[in-house]
Amino acid sequence: MTSADERPARLDVGVVGAGRVGAVLGAALQGVGHRVVAVSGVSQESRDRAGLLLPGVPVLAPEDVVRQAELVVLAVPDDALADLVGGLAATGAWQAGQLVAHTSGRHGLEVYDAALDQHVLGLALHPAMTFTGTRLDLDRLVECCFGVTAPEPLRPVAEALVLEIGAEPVWIEESARGLYHAALAHGANHLVTLVAQSLQALRAAGVATPSRVLGPLVSAALDNALRAGDAALTGPVARGDAGTVAEHLRQLQSLSPDIRPTYVALARATAERALASGRLKPHVAEPLLDILATDQER
């Protein structure tokens, strides 16, 4: 984290949305000396989370949070963000010169269009991290990356806010926000589904502690992939073992209906990438791809 002498001026912060992300970011900003003056939360879970992470901070309606803050953090679902900005603009809650940072990965600065005539200073600060909504996340924020998009004059301000909580700003062009977010969702959210499916299959195979068996393998595979990309690939698809893959498909037939199609889709994508890189030769890949294509047509 930055030292006290390097930090920007302390700000009165309002957090709209005390979900897993908003409450944690509020606590992180408070931890480096900013003052969280108000927070909003609709559900009882959000209110309880605010009470734990931001004790003593009043829970108010969104427009009242905005009116009290110099920096507003908008931590709401992506699809609700534009309507929230527009609704607050309609109530006249925004203040000229007010810093506003949303945490959406998908959106950049276009969601502030409805508030432009009220002269807010909009930023996009997306933490590339999965959140539990507990103090555990405060440690995870340190050294994680934030996807930053801002008007060029505000870039130093946006990056300073990220740096002072110990994270790393990564500049994302406005036009690339959608692709940036798709990449993260594909890599992280779908990984959860993949691991959960593998755990289910191991339990069905009679493994008593599937996480103990799968954990070291997945951790090593992830580390290798981050270091080497496609070159880290191992296993039957990379070898073109069509018979083994056919047996996998037969065994997965008895499990929940989402698992086998996921295996087929990922095995096909893996084979195509292995072919493109030259790791898998066309004559070896052909019977494998035939099996996968036949299964996909079912």
Mean pLDDT (whole number) for 42-47: 90
Whose structure tokens read 């944690």?
Answer: 24
| Residue pLDDT, tens place only, 76-107 | 999 999 999 999 999 999 999 999 999 999 99
SS3 content of the chain, % helix, strand, coil (to 5): 60, 10, 30
Tokens of 97: 């010169």
Confidence at residue 219, expressed as pLDDT on a 0 to 100 scale: 97
Confidence at residue 4, expressed as pLDDT on a 0 to 100 scale: 44
Please calculate the CA angle 274-280-282 and round it to the nearest 5 degrees.
115
Confidence at residue 7, expressed as pLDDT on a 0 to 100 scale: 52
CA neighbor of 13 nearest in space, from 21, 27, 159, 5: 27
- pTM for this model (two decimals): 0.90
Q: Which distant-in-sequence residues (6+ apart) come within 8 Å of 67 by Cβ?
A: 93, 95
- Using DSSP's 3-state secondary structure scheme, residue 38 falls into strand
In one-letter notation, the amino acid at residue 215 is G
| Residue pLDDT, tens place only, 152-210 | 999 999 999 999 999 999 999 999 999 999 999 999 999 999 999 999 999 999 999 99
Which CATH code is given to the segment(s) 4-172?
A: 3.40.50.720
**What single DSSP character describes residue 144?**
-
Tokens of 102: 């949303």
Q: Where are the beta strands (DSSP E) in 17-167?
A: 35-40, 71-74, 99-102, 121-127, 145-149
Alpha helices, DSSP H, located in 18-72: 20-31, 44-53, 62-68
| Residue pLDDT, tens place only, 210-262 | 999 999 999 999 999 999 999 999 999 999 999 999 999 999 999 999 999 99
**CA 78 – CA 286 distance, rounded (Å):** 42
Query: Largest Cα–Cα distance in the chain?
Result: 68
| Residue pLDDT, tens place only, 263-275 | 999 999 999 999 9
